Amino acid sequence: MSDNITAEELAPVTEMITQLTEASMSDSMGLHMQNAVTNQQGMQTISNAATSTACALILNRGG
């Protein structure tokens, strides 16, 4: 067994590392997008609650 490793012998390993990196980045981007949508929905819920509260206050004061 030789310690001299050629580029040809490392090609499959390099390709595997590249594929794993791309899969990991893809998964991370998916999670970032999912978090962004969740945050947007949460902010919309807060906005709706604020609008409903403002309308209720206006109606309670006879507006």
The per-residue DSSP string of 12-49 comes to: HHHHHHHHHHHHHHHHHHHHHHHHHHHHHHHHHHHHHH
Mean pLDDT, each 10-residue run in order, the chain (63 residues)? 77 94 98 98 98 96 78
- Looking at residue 61, its pLDDT comes to 92
- Looking at residue 62, its pLDDT comes to 82
- Looking at residue 63, its pLDDT comes to 59
- Residues 43 and 32: their CA atoms lie apart, in Å, by 16
- Looking at residue 46, its pLDDT comes to 97
- Residues 36 and 29: their CA atoms lie apart, in Å, by 10
